[in-house]
Amino acid sequence: MNITTTHGDKLIALSNNNKLPISDRIKVKEAIEKYNNWRNTLLQIEGDINSIISRSVELLNNYKNYIEVDLIFASTEDFLYRQKDS
């Protein structure tokens, strides 16, 4: 199941951007997969409210760290780092 949201749409637009360096293109495709997995996992969380919140925050932090560290910071190009959040 693919769920589109503003963030998901931005990742897709980024992957289609002709200015995206080839070295980052594969990592952005991986990020889209991670995004879809993260969203699908969120939808499957069950339990009481405290466990749902705790697990959701854990998943969000893991995803956020992946995007900020593994995708953007680890890139050898400046393109991803320079993108503004609009």
pLDDT digit string (tens) for 27-85?
Answer: 999 999 999 999 999 999 999 999 999 999 999 999 999 999 999 999 988 888 766 55
- Per the CB < 8 A criterion, the answer to whether 72 and 84 are in contact is no
What's the whole-model pTM score?
0.83
Q: What is the pLDDT of residue 76?
A: 86
Question: Would residue 47 be called left, alpha or beta, if left means φ above 0 and alpha means ψ between -120 and 50 degrees?
Answer: left
DSSP-assigned states of every residue in 20-40: S-HHHHHHHHHHHHHHHHHHH
pLDDT at 86 over 50: no
Rounded Cα distance between 50 and 58, Å, is 12
pLDDT value for 31: 97
- Residue 63 contacts residue 30 (beta carbons within 8 Å): no
Domain ranges across the chain: 21-86
Question: What per-residue confidence (pLDDT) applies to 81?
Answer: 74
